[in-house]
Amino acid sequence: MTDTLTAPRLFRPHNLINGTWSSAGDGSFNTVVDKYHGTVLARLPNATEAQMEEAIAAAYASREVLRKMSAGERSAKLEGLATLIAEHGDELAQLIVQEGGKPIGYAKTEIARCITTVRTAAAEALRFGGEVVPMDHGAGTGRTAITKRFPVGVVAAITPFNFPLNLVLHKVAPAMAVGCPVVLKPAPQAPLCALVLGGFMERIGWPKGAFNVLMCGVPVAEKLVRDERVAMLSFTGSDKVGWHLKSICGKKKVALELGGNASVIVDEGTDLVAIAKSVAMGANLYAGQTCISTQRIYALKSVFSRFRDLLVKEFELLGSGDPGDAGVSVGPIIDKGHFERISSWVDEAVKGGAKVLAGGKVIDAAHNVYAATLLTGTKNTMKVNCAEVFGPVAVLEEVADFGEALAAVNDSAYGLQAGVFTNNIAHMKRAHDELEVGGIIINNVPGFRIDPMPYGGVKDSGLGREGLRYAMEEMTEPRLLVY
């Protein structure tokens, strides 16, 4: 661990409440460790209910300050934030490797995406607005109607560990662009980038109290979710937690991004060699710990055998181990509990009749590294098939035709994104019409995401959309003027 990562200039191991960094808390601490080496990166105090109250009150009071900021001012602040991220990009990438266990190449990609996220928000702040409503007919003859969009108010942002900076920014940047204050609770496994962001917000001169970052236990987090002064909940995480929070949040707006068990369809007449490389990486990069990691793969009967053999070879070529090594794609699982769960799910599938084509074993228990695993002959009731593995595990199954492949993808409680490898235009159109997902990616894996695009799912994968302009719409309400 380099000294720069713990220096105050990068992050402070405190909670940011109403513009003040507080080392006080409820007496308990959240210890953040390097996910591969196990060394302690920081001990963060868990906030009390009174501290959460202070943060909510500060955010609520800051609404008027933000309301008076022009779009140009908000855009300029966002540009300043993007500049700071770029200036500290190498340090931030190393921090993501350590607190998140993310391979260094992928961590650098996250930083590049962060800059895109913030700069897109800066641009959208200048062009985001309402509309002219056609009304000059019938009873509305001679009248004009326009809408203007206004910020909803305080946003409660709860974020996951796997993109510890960019998924925070997917909530914070659009909130800044439209003038919504934020109270952020980052993931306990990887909260340090969020604290870095808190320091950056001070440096760009974001109004005091308009951005707060608190580590806390479940009861204090639920206070944030329940509070009537909070106008919107934006949550990214597990479906179980997300739907629970929705059930207790009252009348506020809600955006939930809850993951899934993303699928790929491999059609005939496609480049199987290239697809095998893409799918292997899409299933295992960052040890499969992304919401749109490829988990279920359906290959048409005519190409199944050849594709299976190609895919097995690609799985076996993937590097595993220390995420700081540039040759590693499959790093550590985020913690021992998830490591043991993933291993048990694979063992359960094998005992139920599934066949291991690649992996299926622990590589390094001391560092929570599990092999890139490919199974076949699974049943749709097996956890590796019907639940979200969130690990380096995928299932490959044969389907008779394209229609059966579509039905197999839809046979899931989830519906986030799907990848369809096809050169058949009719099949592309049919996939768009029939797949019950938030996004269909043609000739790429479901893990493809460009930050400005609308992103979100259906069914148990959540509701609402992220992607800067789309999140800004979620965080505002139209107000009609007729004259």
Q: Do residues 299 and 275 lie in contact, with contact meaning Cβ atoms separated by under 8 Å?
A: no
Q: Look at residue 334 and tell me whether its pLDDT is greater than 70.
A: yes
Within this chain, do residues 195 and 253 fall inside the same structural domain, yes or no?
yes
CATH number at residue 62: 3.40.605.10
Query: What is the distance between the alpha carbons of residues 271 and 275, in angstroms, rounded to a whole number?
Result: 6
Q: Do residues 458 and 436 lie in contact, with contact meaning Cβ atoms separated by under 8 Å?
A: yes
Within this chain, do residues 298 and 207 fall inside the same structural domain, yes or no?
no
Within this chain, do residues 289 and 218 fall inside the same structural domain, yes or no?
no
Residue 438 lies in a domain: yes
pLDDT tens digits, one per residue of 123-133? 999 999 999 99
Within this chain, do residues 410 and 324 fall inside the same structural domain, yes or no?
yes
Q: Between 166-178 and 104-127, two packed helices, what is the crossing angle to 10 degrees?
A: 10
Mean pLDDT throughout 358-370? 98
Query: What is the distance between the alpha carbons of residues 132 and 150, in angstroms, rounded to a whole number?
Result: 16
Within this chain, do residues 122 and 268 fall inside the same structural domain, yes or no?
no
Mean pLDDT throughout 312-331? 97
Is 291 known to be catalytic? yes
pLDDT tens digits, one per residue of 438-471? 999 999 999 999 999 999 999 999 999 999 999 9
pLDDT band for position 10 (cuts 50, 70, 90) = confident
CATH number at residue 381: 3.40.309.10
Residue 455 lies in a domain: no
Shortest CA distance to 184 belongs to which of 224, 241, 142, 140?
A: 224
Instruction: Collect all residues with Cβ–Cβ distance below 8 Å to 324 and sequence separation of at least 6.
Output: 36, 97, 104
Within this chain, do residues 195 and 247 fall inside the same structural domain, yes or no?
yes
Within this chain, do residues 247 and 332 fall inside the same structural domain, yes or no?
no
Q: Look at residue 343 and tell me whether its pLDDT is greater than 60.
A: yes
Query: What is the distance between the alpha carbons of residues 18 and 455, in angstroms, rounded to a whole number?
Result: 31
pLDDT tens digits, one per residue of 76-126? 999 999 999 999 999 999 999 999 999 999 999 999 999 999 999 999 999
Query: What is the distance between the alpha carbons of residues 394 and 374, in angstroms, rounded to a whole number?
Result: 5
Q: Look at residue 360 and tell me whether its pLDDT is greater than 90.
A: yes
Q: Look at residue 2 and tell me whether its pLDDT is greater than 80.
A: no
Residue 456 lies in a domain: no
**φ, ψ for residue 263, nearest 5 deg:** -115, 155
Q: Residue 77 has what pLDDT? A: 98
pLDDT tens digits, one per residue of 249-292? 999 999 999 989 999 999 999 999 999 999 999 999 999 999 99
Written as six digits, the tokens of 98 are 């350590």
Residue 62 lies in a domain: yes
Instruction: Collect all residues with Cβ–Cβ distance below 8 Å to 20 and sequence separation of at least 6.
Output: none
Query: What is the distance between the alpha carbons of residues 73 and 366, in angstroms, rounded to a whole number?
Result: 50
Written as six digits, the tokens of 196 are 């870095």
Q: Residue 9 has what pLDDT? A: 60
Q: Do residues 483 and 192 lie in contact, with contact meaning Cβ atoms separated by under 8 Å?
A: no
Q: What is the largest CA-CA distance in the chain?
A: 75
Mean pLDDT throughout 147-176? 98
Within this chain, do residues 154 and 287 fall inside the same structural domain, yes or no?
no
**Average per-residue pLDDT for the chain:** 96
Q: Point out the catalytic residue in the list 99, 110, 124, 257.
A: 257
**For the chain, how many structural domains are there in total?**
2
Q: Look at residue 224 and tell me whether its pLDDT is greater than 90.
A: yes
Q: pLDDT over 90 for what percent of the chain?
A: 98
pLDDT tens digits, one per residue of 46-74? 999 999 999 999 999 999 999 999 999 99
Within this chain, do residues 465 and 399 fall inside the same structural domain, yes or no?
no
Within this chain, do residues 220 and 333 fall inside the same structural domain, yes or no?
no
Residue 163 lies in a domain: yes
Q: Residue 246 has what pLDDT? A: 98
Residue 247 lies in a domain: yes
Within this chain, do residues 254 and 298 fall inside the same structural domain, yes or no?
no
Q: Do residues 326 and 104 lie in contact, with contact meaning Cβ atoms separated by under 8 Å?
A: yes
Residue 332 lies in a domain: yes
Mean pLDDT throughout 150-161? 98
Residue 408 lies in a domain: yes
Q: Look at residue 5 and tell me whether its pLDDT is greater than 70.
A: no
Q: Point out the catalytic residue in the list 180, 216, 249, 291.
A: 291
Within this chain, do residues 314 and 398 fall inside the same structural domain, yes or no?
yes
Q: Do residues 175 and 21 lie in contact, with contact meaning Cβ atoms separated by under 8 Å?
A: no
pLDDT band for position 3 (cuts 50, 70, 90) = very low
Question: Rounded to two decimals, what is the model's pTM?
Answer: 0.95
Query: What is the distance between the alpha carbons of residues 132 and 147, in angstroms, rounded to a whole number?
Result: 7
Mean pLDDT throughout 189-210? 98
Q: Look at residue 191 and tell me whether its pLDDT is greater than 80.
A: yes
Structural domain including 371 reads 263-450
